[in-house]
A and B are shown apart, each in its own frame.
Chain A
Amino acid sequence: MPPTLLSGNESVAQGAWEAGAVVGVGYPGTPSTETLESFARLPDVYAEWAPNEKVALEVAAGVSMGGSRVLVTMKHVGVNVAADPLFTLAYTGVKGGVVILAADDPGMHSSQNEQDSRNWGPFARVPVLEPSDSGEARELTLRAFELSERFDVPVILRTSTRIAHSKGLVETGERAERPATPYESDPAKWLMLPANARLRREFLEERMSALRVFADETDINRVEMRDTTLGVVTSGVCYQYVREAIPEASVFKVALSFPLPAAALARFASSVRRLMVVEEGDHYLARSIRALGIDVEDVGLPKTGELSPGKIATAFGHEPGPTRAPVEGLPARPPLMCPGCPHRSVFYALRKMKAVVTGDIGCYTLGATPPLSAMDSCVCMGASIGMAHGVRLSGGDTGRRPVVGVIGDSTFAHSGITGLTHMAYNSGAGTILILDNRITAMTGHQGNPMMGQTLMGNETVEIDVEKLCEALGIEDVTVVDPHDLDRTEAVLREKTAEENLSVIVFRSPCALLLRTEEQPVAVDEDACTACGLCIRLGCPAIGTGEGGVAVIDVSLCVGCGDCVQVCRFDAIRPVGPVCDIGGV
């Protein structure tokens, strides 16, 4: 079969499938998301979205204890959430192989921080593998399952955006079927009471010793000897950059990033005149190699963001090639809420109210950007609720500005429910807005426990938020259609004026989900007074024409009707036949 063009994510899915994994479980997060979606499309497997990464890894632990191989997928910050089971799963080890994909996002294309997931290796004492392209992503996933079972340990497969979302040609193979084995209880291995855990703690060290021996013997890492003046240790996508930037250098290509092969690295160091490390993220390799007693010179590469062949070539003293001068005076093009987005009107109202808004992770974080500019914080999944509560506890005087926590449906299911439980339990006051757009939107439309569809495409139950709030002891719950702008603002003003804990659920499907039959709208130039109110919605379909009058791009307008309601001069009307504005 000719090689197939696959992304790193698709290659990990392919590798897991070939390895005979029967279950995949994870939580969507850029750049990891398509891995589980690809896996779910392969034959003879089953895959699930979990509400969060911790649950995903716990499910995986069960699959493993039951004897089958399992793939777990998440982005770098997801591993923080899964860290609790991860550390103890390192104690229990596995029965069926467990491979955890941790996809890092250097440069923060779609993340709130940069984290280097290789650090989990020494922290949790689990092996870490790092592919450098799609072909290796498949191959190392297969190797990761072997390692997992051979050394009785969960294995982290660490990728980054340029591995996950780059495509390359991959030679694929057949699936190795692994028949399920009869279940046998093994509490000494799986039941981590202190007495058992202490024994497994000893095993952890024995296993590390065995892994260190393996690291020096395996062919997973590779040495490419060229000019011996310069030796470079590198891993992941940086290996590809090094090959282009300094093709003359000898290279120690690390694929098993933890544990590192001490003897092999020492041999390489002694065979080159200068030893340097090229890596993105933390100086993980440089630090670890120095800890082995091997001298590494500092290259002086940027400490933040992504590297590139050019950045590396420059650091090694190569003259950059000729370039064209940048074109000056270009407007920035930040990401924005889509036309018809149900989140827009909520932030439009919050801005008018000058609310203190603790935000969360999702498309609605874009409510922070002009012209809506209605968000004060965004920290991590679920933080909006705890932070709204905390701002009130701080005693800091927000004046007349109400404190509001804003969280999306999937994020609420991920880690908002615990925050809301906390607020209710501790008699907190404030208003929590759940923006329920019936999908996990930012990562490309995945199902979640709030919307009634599973990853395998089956219909399922959905969380009844109103009843859930009631069960938590919250009596004040209101459901609002955010495309009804008057009611949106009225309910927000009413609820935030009260000294209690209230929840407002703004429920309307993501604009990209709707095959809208609404008519686009247009501006009557004679009626428009150029007041600029509709512009403040920040809709990409609305711009300004001559004399400041509003102009609507009918090719972008989806007829949501938000601007029609904002206009005080009845200057925005449907194009063509009358339509039912506002209803969803």
Chain B
Amino acid sequence: MTAPTTVMLAGVGGQGTILAADVLAKVAAAAGLDVKLSEVHGMAQRGGSVDTVVRFGESVASPITDPGGADHLVAFEMIEAARRIPFLKPDGRLLVNTRLIEPLPVLIGAADMPEDLEARLAEQGAIFIDAEELACEAGSEKAANIVLMGALSTGLQFPEEAWHGVIATRVPPKTVETNLRAFELGRQACRKGECLL
């Protein structure tokens, strides 16, 4: 039996990682795969670091993963990308939204922003995407999470139509067109780079 594929979505509470994870999990399920997803609610969500794990394959046991366990790390924010780096397999794929959200300790002067973050992430093989800008181009900044799913989709085996089908049922009805455009822009952005597997 082949090992499951593990995708970690890392971001800041409120960035839409949970909805993105749900879309990915439903796409995997629609492909007839077993799937598990793990997320954290409550206090951890109030603007803090959040990570959501989606695992799919013939059979999935654990809903969570360990350092060195993720095939894909999709970071919605650059500090969170760096924070979760140990979870990504040495040969894993790293997608990073170029968004930077200063954590409160930095805002109040109790901590410094890390230097050369983008360069250090590039050393890790990061594929950078400006998801907010592409989301705006698609019609709403809120669709940034779907832009990132579009980017992720180029490294997964699921057909484009499967993603479209799930997105159409999972986002608010009025935003379906925007989100489908956002997904396509994320795909294209990733195709332009050297990230096609």
Please tell me if the beta carbons of A335 and B29 are within 8 angstroms of each other in the complex. no
Given contacts A240-B61, A330-B114, contact A337 B46 (CB under 8 A): yes
User: Is B102 in contact with chain A by the CB < 8 A criterion?
Assistant: yes
User: Is A167 in contact with chain B by the CB < 8 A criterion?
Assistant: yes
User: Is B16 in contact with chain A by the CB < 8 A criterion?
Assistant: no
User: Is A536 in contact with chain B by the CB < 8 A criterion?
Assistant: yes
User: Is B172 in contact with chain A by the CB < 8 A criterion?
Assistant: no
Measured CA separation A162–B39 after assembly (Å): 8
Interface centre among B62, B67, B102, B120 (most CB of A within 10 A): B62
| Residue ID in chain A nearest B13 by CB atoms | A335
**B45 vs chain A, min Cβ distance (A):** 7
| Residue ID in chain B nearest A328 by CB atoms | B114
Please tell me if the beta carbons of A538 and B46 are within 8 angstroms of each other in the complex. no
Interface centre among B80, B108, B111, B114 (most CB of A within 10 A): B108
Contact count A vs B, C-beta below 8 Å: 194
Measured CA separation A395–B123 after assembly (Å): 60
Please tell me if the beta carbons of B47 and A335 are within 8 angstroms of each other in the complex. yes
Please tell me if the beta carbons of B105 and A370 are within 8 angstroms of each other in the complex. yes
Please tell me if the beta carbons of A442 and B35 are within 8 angstroms of each other in the complex. no
A235-256: contact bitstring with B at CB < 8 Å (1 yes, 0 no)? 0010011011000000000000
**A446 vs chain B, min Cβ distance (A):** 12
Please tell me if the beta carbons of A167 and B25 are within 8 angstroms of each other in the complex. yes
Please tell me if the beta carbons of B114 and A166 are within 8 angstroms of each other in the complex. no
The count of residues in chain B whose C-beta lies closer than 8 Å to any C-beta of chain A is 58
Q: Which of A286-339 contact B (CB under 8 A)?
A: 308-311, 320-327, 329-338
**A551 vs chain B, min Cβ distance (A):** 9
Stretch of A12-20, A412-420, A539-547 that contacts chain B: A539-547
Please tell me if the beta carbons of A167 and B36 are within 8 angstroms of each other in the complex. yes
Q: Which of B55-91 contact A (CB under 8 A)?
A: 60-69, 79-80, 82-83, 85-86, 88-90
Please tell me if the beta carbons of A169 and B35 are within 8 angstroms of each other in the complex. yes
Measured CA separation A333–B25 after assembly (Å): 27
Please tell me if the beta carbons of B34 and A169 are within 8 angstroms of each other in the complex. yes
Please tell me if the beta carbons of B90 and A323 are within 8 angstroms of each other in the complex. yes
| Residue ID in chain A nearest B102 by CB atoms | A543
Measured CA separation A366–B80 after assembly (Å): 21
User: Given A335-B46, A442-B43, 5 more contacts at CB 8 Å?
Assistant: A110-B42, A321-B89, A330-B82, A336-B48, A363-B46
Q: Hey, which bits of chain B sit against chain A, CB under 8 A? A: 12-13, 22, 25-26, 29, 34-49, 60-69, 79-80, 82-83, 85-86, 88-90, 102-115, 120, 124, 141
Q: Hey, which bits of chain A sit against chain B, CB under 8 A? A: 2-3, 5, 30-31, 33-34, 109-110, 133, 161-162, 165-169, 237, 240-241, 243-244, 308-311, 320-327, 329-338, 363, 365-366, 369-371, 442-444, 532, 535-536, 538, 540, 542-544, 555
